[in-house]
Structure 1
Amino acid sequence: MTLPSTMAAVLLTGHGGLDKLEYRTDVPVPEPRPDEVLINVAAAGVNNTDINTHIGWYSKSVSGDTNTTAADDATQADEGDASWSGVPLTFPRIQGGDVYGEVVAAGSAVDPARIGDKVIVRNLMRHYVDRRPFECWTYGSDCDGGFAQFAIAPSSESYTVHSDLSPVELGSFSIAYSTAEGMLHRAGVGEEKVVVTGASGGVGLAAVKLAKLRGAEVTAVCSESKADVVLAAGADRVVSRHADPTAEIGAQSVDVVVDVVGGDGVAQLLGLLRRGGRFAIAGAIGGPLTELDLRTIYLNDLSLFGCTFQEDEVFENLIGYINQGRIRPLVSKSYPLSEIHRAQEDFIAKKFPGKLVLVPPPVDDSAPASAAGITQHSSTLSRHN
């Protein structure tokens, strides 16, 4: 492939609404550092973290749920703590934590045999923090990500895949499936009774599928309209998200709760756990604040796991499942990258189960190339914080 000097990409220009996402075709193609690879992006999934990052939802000054906050044109965020890490973002930023594509160039310290590899990038990267425990860089937040024709990533964080799945399917895995696998790993899920909330969404549906791989008996909580999809994914039972979970499932009747919703329902979910049960949470689209009775936790010896950081084996497990053909994601719809506003509006509205994916335009091989074939980002486009 003859590499162009510029590419199509979506630039996040600041915290706020969809107007802060600008589709452009004149963004310089990034140049990989010695230990990085350049990836021609084939597909990049849409995730809650994309929405939460651009609206500034991670800031402690925001107390509403994701959808309510996204509908507010004037962001409530304190920009000083509106990222995963709590370090202010620099703009413009290319978001997109899900990336599937082909390695088309390699840094000087990377084996050139990697060129041509089909890869999925790990979204919680440990390379840039010297692999310190409980620290990571978030792809598409702490550094530029995959909402572009080309993206760079450390070679060590770019995992080779051999799969018959489509590019759109492969571009939907990284965040949702690694988040779900990370929750199951942290909670030590095995052949036991598990409740999964938000089960029709990207992470929830992944958690249903991956829990079944572990031999769990899964009760899924979702809207009635999406129950058939969740059952088809392997759930043993579906309970309406509007129902009383204690009445439907039973107090102290399950071993593990895998929660991606948060909000007011957490107290009731804790009441579902048997003595010694485990509660894993990796999202709060229903709201970041809740009220708990601490007696429920300590008198029943419950364990609570906040799940962001992932041990290496989590992503390695996921790539293994893909290469072994053991999992297939549900992608309800794909969109051209230029239609990112429509894709995110549909995502926020929860119109579809599973995943939505953005597809960059094909590269025009006839476009002018730079003398070096690839070009460093200009000083106005920050590669990394």
Structure 2
Amino acid sequence: MGVPDVPDVMRAVRITRHGGPEVLDVTEIAVPGVRAGEVLVEVGAVALNNTDLWTREGAYGRPDDPTALSGWRGPIDFPRVQGADVAGRIVAVGPGAAEDLVGRRVVVDPAIYDAEGPDANPVGLMGSERDGGYAEYVTAPVDQVHDVTDSPLSDEQLAALPTAYGTALGMIERGGLREGETVLVSGASGGVGLACVQIARARGAKVVAISSGPKIEAVREAGAHEVVDRAGDVTGQIRAAAPEGIDVALDVVAGELVGDGLPLLREGGRWVIAGALGGYGVAFDVRRLYLHNAQVIGSAMHTPAHFGLLMDLARRAEVQPVIAAAFPLDRAARAQEELARRGHVGKIVMRP
């Protein structure tokens, strides 16, 4: 490659087919070449997401066949290096990228957008539609690496931000959450849920979170004003915690929660959905929408503008991602198994 201190080969974790953790292959492959308009990042930390599990399993389905094996937005081009969330340092630049970027500490925006501009929609994801950060090195477009050299956050904390906190910020922005409003957060102990709790609290909202018994205190420590135990009467507990109703729901669970929860919205309330941990089949009373001027909003990740706001938070360390566990790269299968068990609070990361 002609770049000092960058080897020709690297360790990486790839999938060559859909399946369980056994399809994760720890191997050595060539360090990717840096094309025009790209940079090469030495990975300091990579965070795990549910997208890693579902991409590996092929669990996303297709619009014409919900049961079809598929990656985030379509068939996977195997072999594929997984991992959307990367923090590290730039070690080489391609033609058209400034040489003084070398050595800068960066976070990579993992989205593949449908257009240029601040409000573009994500239509692909690093680790699914292009190779990701389960590796010692990864390439990225120069305009999607964000300089966080001066951030006091660790590489592990920075790596926790892109998908989980980007998704959370996208939900909050699309839901129009305002200071003083009451927000409901489902799945609050997971990566996206905990990010919703932290960012909503930082924005001055009253946060009512849904979690399970052993994790309730950790969710409260992250910033929730009230925590509802999902093992009990969820709607009854929410009514008690927010007797005047919910302004915005930030929901990664969906399933029955949507139908049960919509009547809890105040006039003009917004129910924002960015996941389906509780099931993708949803039924609700449509009268609760049109009679109360409510909205159900789909939210997939973030826009470039949202990600820029997130990086501003990272530089100022206005959110402090919680790291549940860290694994070496060669234990990627164990790390994904730990993620799938959902016994943790916060983010699981790997350090190549």
Q: Which residue matches 1:369?
A: none
Q: Which of residues 242, 245, 248 in structure 1 aligns to 2:231?
A: 242
- C-alpha displacement of 1:135: 4.4
Q: Which residue matches 1:311?
A: 303
| 1:258 counterpart = 2:250 | yes
* Stretch of structure 1 that moved more, 248-257 or 46-55: 248-257
Q: Which residue matches 2:26?
A: 23
Q: Which of residues 153, 157, 174 in structure 1 aligns to 2:144?
A: 157
Q: Which of residues 49, 60, 74 in structure 2 aligns to 1:47?
A: 49
Q: Which residue matches 1:376?
A: none
Deviations 1:15-46 (A, max 9, x none): 1111211011x211001111000000010001
Distance 2:147 2:208 in 1: 33
**Runs of 5+ consecutive residues of structure 2 not aligned to the other structure:** none
Instruction: Return the TM-score normalized by structure 1.
Output: 0.85
**Runs of 5+ consecutive residues of structure 1 not aligned to the other structure:** 64-76, 361-385
Deviations 1:267-312 (A, max 9, x none): 1121210121001111111211122221222222111110015332
Contact 2:253 2:275 in 1 (8 A): yes
In structure 2, the CA distance between the partners of 1:149 and 1:200, relative to structure 1 (3 Å rule), is same
| 1:353 counterpart = 2:341 | no
Structure 1 residues 1-385: aligned runs within 5 Å: 2-24=5-27, 26-60=28-62, 78-79=68-69, 82-85=70-73, 87-126=74-113, 129-131=115-117, 133-161=120-148, 162-191=150-179, 192-250=181-239, 253-308=245-300, 310-360=302-352
Contact 1:124 1:136 in 2 (8 A): yes
Deviations 1:320-356 (A, max 9, x none): 0111121110001100011011111111101210000
Q: Which runs of 4+ in 1 moved over 4 A?
A: 60-63, 128-132
Instruction: Calculate percent identity across the aligned residue pairs.
Output: 38
- C-alpha displacement of 1:62: 8.2
In structure 2, the CA distance between the partners of 1:214 and 1:345, relative to structure 1 (3 Å rule), is same
Q: State the AA in 2 paired with 1:6.
A: V
In structure 2, the CA distance between the partners of 1:309 and 1:176, relative to structure 1 (3 Å rule), is closer
Distance 1:135 1:172 in 2: 19
Q: Provide the secondary structure at the position in 2 that maps to 1:99.
A: strand
Coordinate RMSD, CA, aligned: 1.7
Contact 1:252 1:275 in 2 (8 A): no
Q: Which residue matches 1:70?
A: none
- C-alpha displacement of 1:136: 3.3
Distance 1:38 1:98 in 2: 15
Q: State the AA in 1 paired with 2:11.
A: A
Distance 1:283 1:358 in 2: 23
In structure 2, the CA distance between the partners of 1:237 and 1:309, relative to structure 1 (3 Å rule), is closer
- C-alpha displacement of 1:78: 2.3
Q: State the AA in 2 paired with 1:350.
A: R
Q: Aligned residues, how many?
A: 342
Q: Provide the secondary structure at the position in 2 that maps to 1:159.
A: strand
Distance 1:285 1:134 in 2: 23
Q: Provide the secondary structure at the position in 2 that maps to 1:136.
A: strand
Distance 2:65 2:330 in 1: 29
- C-alpha displacement of 1:107: 0.5
- C-alpha displacement of 1:11: 0.6
Q: Provide the secondary structure at the position in 1 that maps to 2:81.
A: coil
Distance 1:137 1:344 in 2: 21
Q: Compare relative contact order (CA 8 Å, sep 6+) and give the higher one, 1 or 2.
A: 1
Distance 2:294 2:165 in 1: 25
Distance 2:233 2:293 in 1: 24
Distance 1:165 1:62 in 2: 42
Distance 1:242 1:29 in 2: 48
Q: State the AA in 2 paired with 1:9.
A: A
Distance 1:349 1:204 in 2: 16
- C-alpha displacement of 1:252: 6.6
Q: Provide the secondary structure at the position in 2 that maps to 1:262.
A: coil
- C-alpha displacement of 1:129: 4.5
Q: Which residue matches 1:382?
A: none
- C-alpha displacement of 1:134: 2.8
Instruction: Return the TM-score normalized by structure 2.
Output: 0.93
Q: Provide the secondary structure at the position in 2 that maps to 1:177.
A: helix
